[in-house]
């Protein structure tokens, strides 16, 4: 896989001026890379772990380090998630990147794309701290250069800089936490860090917990560390947005599971605070993400905020697993952890499909403004059907995959009544209510998105002249659409595999009690059951029967065609319901959160009649205004005050160095 990625990327650079060959080599090697990754993941999941150590290892007598690769069950699962999305995205890219011909270097894109895939794989297969940090930094840098690929756009360059700052802030916290754990384990090897939390002091262990939460939370996009995500995702090419949202931010989930369950461990009720903290942060993240998605006009930002919402959903399940593990409820911890990994996998598929669909819309219309779309279902028929499948998945409509993972998350939260702590039950019930509200708002959000983009009449010339995208783009989306349905129908089989991944962390296997043939059953007291296959069969039978019954017994009526009553004013696209109008009722309901700003401008001529009325609205990002802008203001002010020491004199700089060395000698004498 390493050879494929490096050879494909470097060959693309060499073929930069031969566009067709460059595209085939770059993305053909990426597709082969992804296929190999799927094979490796399936082999490890079925046959056992794989470990490789490059001849760079050394030992200074106390702490050993080097570059090693470890693919255990957890690594293999995330390797499968990454490569299952990367394969159709690589196919999609054959047609998508042609729009950059003659504008930007395709060779550079091909190199960065292959290195980005390789870096994500190395992150989830790293066997020690050194290997992980190298891969993590490579992933961050590759994604930064891909976000800023269209570097002549100042807005995208600014988004890339914000992403770079935030990701390196997170990296500093992650490095601090991992080094803290490594020195406690007296080794940089992940295998030596297993259960090291049992030998750590309470304060040191809790510090590591918090540093890891903040560090990986920055990459995942938890509130309030999410600010880079709605700016970087729209700036990146759409195939890169699909990978960043679908799998890159999930590498943080991988390391949270690895460090919390495998390294530090959950020892008892004294660690319950950690699960409750995750439930609080995750619930706020999910709700804030979907509320901003509801009112956005840029459809790629809608999907970016939706990714924040889904990270919140994943972390609600993860927090539940931590909470149940702390109270010794291993069956429920296993259920919540299975739901966590399932939603990680399923979200990568349907969010990848939605981002590729957004890229198809952008490719056909050239605009990201939802207000300027409409009527695309008549002009992009295949894209509209495939995108609709992604919408059904993201809003958890059965039998698609999003329904299965969210059903399991709800079951794990509902079963919290087995806890004997009233306060904990109250907090879990609050998280459950916020999750339910988030689901309802997400459905509203994507009804708005799909309806305003694909239905009714075109609201601009760009939408009116849109055409279907190339076949390779359709093929990439079709693969993901099929997977969204198949993974939902075959979820009982997938759960068997996921259970083998979670068993070492939860301390028990529940696959035998969770799945009963094609039926899913909760492992505690037969609380509830559900079958995606039976639901599908019921729908396949009920819908045609309802149609036949309506046509047979509904009566035969003559079809009359006439003009819509329009008060004497001809109807056109200006009379359509707009995305802004659709969101207006919810903006009123949540006006305390949105704090909408409006501006009205009236233009009058010499006569008494009104010439023009302009009405503008905007939704401020409150976290930016109340948290980050004051921090930036303080930092800039301090920098200006400290800047007086920049005299431009070499003698002054030598004096600074001398004073610093003297102070260090005094402190560490």
Mean pLDDT across the chain = 90
Which of 94-103, 478-487, 521-530 is least confident? 521-530
pLDDT at res. 416: 83
CB atoms within 10 A of CB 563: 7
Where would I find the H helices in 366-400?
376-379, 381-394
The owner of tokens 């930094």 is 137
Tell me the C-alpha distance between 390 and 396, whole Å: 10
Q: pLDDT by residue (tens digit) across 240-256?
A: 999 999 999 999 999 99
| Mean of pLDDT values over 388-412 | 94
Does residue 382 register a pLDDT over 80? yes
Does residue 124 register a pLDDT over 60? yes
Q: pLDDT by residue (tens digit) across 176-208?
A: 999 999 999 888 889 889 989 888 889 999 999
pLDDT at res. 55: 58
Higher-scoring residue by pLDDT: 525, 430: 430
pTM for the whole structure: 0.92
Q: What is the DSSP letter of 187?
A: S
**Residue 6 Cα distances to 15, 348, 409, 619, angstroms:** 14, 25, 40, 44
Phi/psi class of residue 526: alpha, beta or left (left: φ > 0; alpha: ψ in -120 to 50)? left
Q: pLDDT by residue (tens digit) across 511-548?
A: 888 888 888 888 776 678 888 899 999 999 998 998 88
pLDDT at res. 555: 67
pLDDT at res. 606: 67
Does residue 57 register a pLDDT over 70? no
Does residue 60 register a pLDDT over 60? no
pLDDT at res. 645: 82
Which of 57-61, 111-115, 222-226, 485-489 is least confident? 57-61
SS (H, E, C) 495-543: HHHHHHHHHHHHCCCCHHHHEECCEEECCCCCCCEECHHHHHHHHHHHH
- Cα dihedral 459, 464, 468, 474 in deg (nearest 10): 0
**Residue 253 Cα distances to 344, 426, 442, 526, angstroms:** 8, 26, 22, 30
Q: What is the DSSP letter of 189?
A: B
Does residue 620 register a pLDDT over 60? yes
Residue 574 banded pLDDT, cuts 50, 70, 90: confident
């Amino acid at each position: 896989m390493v050879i494929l990625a490096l050879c494909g990327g470097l060959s693309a650079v060499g073929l930069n001026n031969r566009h067709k060959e460059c595209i085939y080599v770059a993305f053909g090697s990426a597709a082969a890379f992804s296929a190999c990754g799927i094979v490796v993941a399936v082999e490890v999941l079925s046959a056992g772990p794989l470990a490789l150590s490059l001849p760079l290892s050394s030992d200074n007598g106390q702490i050993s380090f080097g570059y090693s690769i470890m693919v255990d069950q957890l690594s293999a699962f995330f390797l499968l998630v990454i490569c299952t999305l990367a394969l159709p995205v690589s196919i999609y890219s054959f047609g998508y990147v042609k729009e950059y011909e003659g504008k930007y270097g395709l060779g550079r894109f091909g190199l960065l794309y292959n290195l980005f895939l390789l870096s994500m794989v190395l992150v989830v297969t790293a066997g020690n701290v050194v290997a992980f940090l190298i891969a993590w930094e490579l992933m961050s840098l590759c994604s930064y250069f891909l976000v800023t690929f269209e570097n002549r756009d100042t807005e995208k360059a600014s988004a890339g800089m914000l992403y770079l700052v935030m990701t390196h802030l997170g990296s500093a916290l992650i490095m601090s936490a991992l080094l803290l754990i490594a020195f406690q384990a007296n080794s940089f090897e992940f295998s030596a860090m297993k259960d090291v939390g049992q030998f750590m002091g309470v304060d040191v262990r809790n510090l590591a917990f918090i540093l890891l939460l903040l560090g990986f939370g920055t990459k995942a996009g938890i509130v309030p560390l999410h600010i880079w995500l709605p700016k970087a995702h729209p700036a990146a090419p759409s195939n890169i947005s699909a990978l960043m949202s679908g799998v890159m931010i999930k590498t943080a989930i991988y390391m949270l599971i690895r460090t919390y369950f495998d390294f530090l461990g959950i020892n008892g009720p004294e660690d319950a605070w950690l699960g409750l903290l995750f439930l609080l942060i995750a619930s706020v993240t999910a709700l804030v993400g979907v509320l901003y998605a509801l009112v956005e006009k840029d459809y790629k930002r809608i999907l970016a905020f939706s990714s924040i919402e889904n990270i919140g959903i994943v972390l609600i399940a993860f927090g539940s697993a931590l909470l149940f593990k702390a109270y010794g409820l291993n069956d429920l911890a296993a259920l919540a952890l299975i739901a966590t990994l399932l939603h990680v996998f399923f979200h990568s598929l349907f969010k990848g499909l939605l981002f590729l669909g957004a890229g198809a819309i952008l490719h056909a219309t050239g605009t990201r403004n939802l207000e300027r779309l409409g009527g695309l279902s008549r002009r992009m028929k295949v894209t509209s059907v495939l995108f609709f499948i992604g919408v059904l998945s993201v809003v958890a409509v059965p039998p698609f995959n999003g329904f299965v993972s969210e059903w399991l998350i709800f079951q794990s939260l509902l079963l919290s009544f087995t806890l004997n702590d009233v306060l904990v039950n109250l907090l879990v019930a609050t998280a459950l209510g916020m999750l339910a509200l988030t689901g309802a708002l997400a459905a509203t959000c994507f009804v708005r998105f799909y309806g305003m983009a694909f239905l009714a009449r075109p609201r601009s010339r760009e939408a009116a002249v849109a055409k279907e995208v190339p076949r390779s783009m359709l093929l990439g989306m079709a693969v993901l659409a099929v997977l969204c349905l198949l993974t939902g129908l075959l979820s009982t089989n997938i759960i068997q595999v996921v259970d083998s991944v979670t068993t070492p962390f939860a301390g028990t296997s529940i696959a035998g009690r969770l799945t009963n043939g094609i039926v899913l059953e909760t492992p505690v007291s037969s609380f509830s059951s559900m079958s995606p296959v039976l639901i599908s069969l019921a729908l396949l039978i009920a819908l045609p029967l309802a149609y036949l019954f309506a046509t047979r017994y509904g009566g035969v009526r003559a079809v009359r065609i006439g003009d819509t009553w329009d008060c004497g004013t001809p109807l056109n696209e200006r009379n359509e319901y707009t995305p802004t109008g659709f969101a207006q009722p919810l903006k009123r309901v949540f006006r305390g959160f949105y704090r909408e700003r409006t501006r009205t401008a009236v233009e009058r001529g010499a006569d008494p009649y009104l010439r023009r009325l302009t009405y503008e609205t905007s939704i401020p990002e409150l976290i930016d205004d109340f948290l980050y802008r004051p921090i930036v203001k303080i930092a800039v002010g301090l920098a200006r005050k400290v800047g007086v020491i920049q005299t431009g004199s070499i003698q002054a700089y030598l004096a600074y160095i001398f004073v610093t060395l003297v102070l260090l000698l005094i402190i560490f004498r």
